[in-house]
Chains A and B, each alone.
Chain A
Amino acid sequence: MKVKRSFYHYLTIGAVLLYLIVPLLGTLIYSFSTQWHKTILPEGLTFQWYKELFGDSVFLKAMGRSLILSFGATVLSLVIMVPTIFSIVMYAPRLEKFIQSLIVMTYAMPGVIIAVGLIRAYSNSGISMVVVTVGAYFVGILPYMYQGTRNSLRNIHAVSLMEAAEILGAGQFTAFMKVILPNIMTGILVSSLLSFSILFGEFVLVNLLIGGSFETIQVFLYKKLNVSGHIASAIVVCYFILICILSVVIVKVTRSKKGTV
C-alpha cells in the first residue's frame, strides 16, 4: 500500500515537472537548432542564433536598459519602502490599512489603463517617460516588497527585538541596522528577486510608455518574434539563465546568513 501511494506521489510530481520543463526544453533546443519545422527532432544544431544575438549591439543595449529599469525600480523600492514599512509596522500599525488599500489598487488596475493614464498625465510634463516608468514600477512591486518585509518583521517579532535593543542602550537607527535589518535580509532579498524578475519580464507598461524610444529586452523580444523564432528562443534562454543565476546568488546569500530565523 505504501509503495503504491509513493508511486502515485512520484507520478504526480513527475507530471508536474514534465509540464514545467517541456516548454523550456523545447525553447532551449529550438534556440540551438538550424531548422525544426517538419521533423520530430531538429535537423541540426548550431550556435548561430546566439552569435547573431550577442553580435547585435541593439540586444546588448536592450538588455542593459531592462537591467537598469528593473534594478533601479527595485533598489528605489528597497531604499524607500523597507524603512517605511518598518516604521508603519513598528510605530503606526493603524496605517497598515492604508498601505493595504494601495496594494489592492495596484492589482485592480490593468496595465493598459495605468499606461494610458500615465501617458495622459506626464507626456507633456517635461518628465522623462523613463522616470515615469520607474515610478510606475515602484508602485507595481509595492505588494511584493510590502508582504515580504512585513512578514519578515512579524516572523522575527521585530517590536520586541527593537525594544530589547533600545533597553540595552541602542538608538533606533543602530537597533534597526544591527538587529532588525540582518534578520529581515532574507525576506527582503527574496522579495527583491521576485520584484526584479517580474519587472524584467514586464511588457505592457514598458512597451506603451517608452517602447519606441527606450527599447528594452521585452520590446526587443517582441520585435524578434516576427523576424526569427530561433533568435526569440535564444533571448528567452538568456533571460532564463540570468534569472537562474540571480536565484542561485540569492539562495547562497540567504543560506550563508547563519542564525537567522
Chain B
Amino acid sequence: MTYVTIEKINKAFKGQTVLHDINLSLKQGEFVTLLGPSGCGKTTLLRILAGLIDPEHGVIKIEGKDVTKLKAKDRQIGMVFQSYALFPNMTVAENIAFGLKMKKLDKAAIQKKVARMVELTGLSGKENSYPRELSGGQQQRVALARSIVTGPKVLLLDEPLSALDAQIRKNLQKQLRAIQKELNMTTVLVTHDQEEAMAVSDRIYILNEGYIAQSGTPHEIYTKPVNEFVARFIGNYNVFNGEELSLLTQGTEFPHKLYAVRPEAFSSQMIDNYLEIIGKVDKVMMLGNVTRYELFSKGVSVTAEHLHKSNEDIQEGTLKTLYIDKKDVIPLA
C-alpha cells in the first residue's frame, strides 16, 4: 500500500522550471533513493517533501493525508542535512532530545528515548560531548539519532554521507540500512553516488534535469537502463550506436539507434554463439579486485572489466578477443 505519494510536483526558480510534474510513491518501510547529478532537482524535491520549499503546484500525501500546505514542523518528518546542522550550543544528548522537548514529553520519557537512540547509533560515552568534539562520522550519527528519535513518519536524508571518507562512508551505509530496517522507517535518500544508492536502496529514482529518467530496484536500474543518460550515469556502461556495434561484431545487425553494454559483460573466454570483438588493449587500470581496460577496434573504443585473476595478464598494446552475449547488448530508447 502506498504510504507517501508525490503527485505532479512542479517547481521553478526565477522562471526556470527545475522539477517537471514529478510523480513518486513510497511504501511503508521502503528505502527509496533519489539519484542524479548536481542540479537535477533531487534536493529540491526532498526539501519540498520536508516542507522547506513550497511547490508551484502538485500534491504531497503522507498516509493518505494531504500535507502540501503543512509547515515543516507539523509534517512529522525527520531530516538529516548534508552539513548535519547539529546545534553547536547543545551536547549530543541535548541535540537528540531537542525534538522530544518540542513535543513536550516528560523528562523521564525523554531520557529513556535518548538513551535508546544513543545505544542504537553507537554513541555511548559521547552523550555529554559537544558536536565540535566529535568526528564527522559521530556527528552524522548524532544527526541521524536526532532525526529518528521523534518517530517521524518519513526520514529524509540529504547526502548525509558525502562529507565522510570512503571507509567510514561504507560502514555508515551498512549501519544506516540496518537501523532503517530495524525501525521499519520509510526513508528517502538523496545522493549523487550511484554505488551508495545501489548499496542501501529498495528502489531508486534517477533524476535528470527535473524529470524522472528511470525508477526501479537497484538490479533493474543497473541491468536494464532505459536510456543513454541512465546507462552513462549508473555505471561505466559502453554506449554504442548500431553502426559501431555492427563494425565491432563483424556485421551483426543492430537495428536500434543506441545500445548499452556493461563493461563486466565482456568475457575473455570463448563461448559458443557469443559475439566476438577483436582489438588492441589500451589504458589498463588496476582497480583492486577489478582490472579495467580499453580495447580499440575499428576506430571504436570498448571499456571492459574483469575480476582480477593472477593467471590472466592484460598487457597494453597486445591484441585481445572479447566475447559478449547478445542478450547483454541492451537497446536504449
Chain A positions near chain B (C-beta within 8 angstroms): 156-157, 160-161, 163-171, 174, 178-179, 182-183, 257-261
Q: Which residue in A163, A171, A260 is a CB contact (below 8 Å) of B81?
A: A163
B50:A167 contact, CB within 8 angstroms:
yes
Q: A168-B102, A170-B98 are in contact. List 7 more A-B contacts (CB 8 A).
A: A160-B85, A163-B85, A167-B78, A168-B99, A169-B99, A170-B73, A259-B130
Is B89 a contact of A259 with CB atoms below 8 Å?
yes
A261 to B87, CA, bound (A): 10
In the complex, are the beta carbons of B77 and A261 less than 8 A apart?
Answer: no
Interface size on B, residues (CB 8 A): 29
The answer to whether the Cβ of B91 comes within 8 Å of any Cβ in the partner chain is yes
Query: How far is it, in angstroms, between the C-alpha of A178 and the C-alpha of B71 when the chains are bound?
Result: 19
Partner of B132 from the list A167, A170, A259 (CB cut-off 8 Å) is: A259
16 A-B residue pairings within 8 Å (CB atoms): A163-B50, A164-B81, A164-B86, A167-B50, A168-B98, A168-B99, A168-B147, A169-B150, A170-B102, A171-B73, A178-B98, A179-B87, A183-B88, A259-B90, A260-B88, A260-B89
Closest residue of chain A to B52 (Cβ to Cβ) is A163
Q: Looking at B77, B88, B99, B131, which has the most chain A CB atoms within 10 Å of its CB?
A: B88
Top 8 nearest A-B pairs (CB, nearest first) are A259-B130, A169-B102, A168-B99, A164-B85, A160-B85, A182-B89, A261-B88, A166-B72
The reply to whether the CB of B103 lies closer than 8 angstroms to some CB of chain A is yes
Give every chain A residue within 8 A of B130 (Cβ-Cβ).
258-259
Give the residue name and chain of the A residue nearest to B75 (CB). Answer: A167
Asked if B114 lies at the interface with its beta carbon under 8 angstroms from chain A, I say: no
Instruction: Find chain B residues with CB under 8 A from A258 CB.
Output: 89, 130
- The distance in angstroms between the C-alpha atoms of A170 and B98, with both chains bound, is 9
Bitwise interface map of B from 262 to 283 toward A, beta carbon under 8 Å scored 1, else 0:
0000000000000000000000
Cα–Cα distance between A227 and B91 once the two chains are bound (Å): 58
Which residues 142-193 of B sit at the A interface, judged by CB distance below 8 A?
146-147, 150
Chain B residues within an 8 Å CB radius of A168:
73, 98-99, 102, 146-147, 150
Contact of A165 with B98 in the complex, beta carbons under 8 Å:
yes
Q: What CA separation (Å) do A95 and B133 show in the bound complex?
A: 36
Question: For residue B89, which residues in chain A have a CB less than 8 angstroms away from its CB?
Answer: 179, 182-183, 257-260
In the bound assembly, the distance between CA atoms of A166 and B78 in angstroms comes to: 10
Max chain B Cβ within 10 angstroms of own Cβ: one of A163, A164, A183: A164
Inter-chain contacts of A156 with B (CB < 8 A): 88
Q: Which residue of A lies closest to B103 (CB)?
A: A169
Chain A, Cβ-Cβ closest to B71: A166
Q: Is the Cβ of B50 less than 8 Å from the Cβ of A160?
A: no
Bound together, the chains give a CA A178 to CA B131 distance in angstroms of: 16
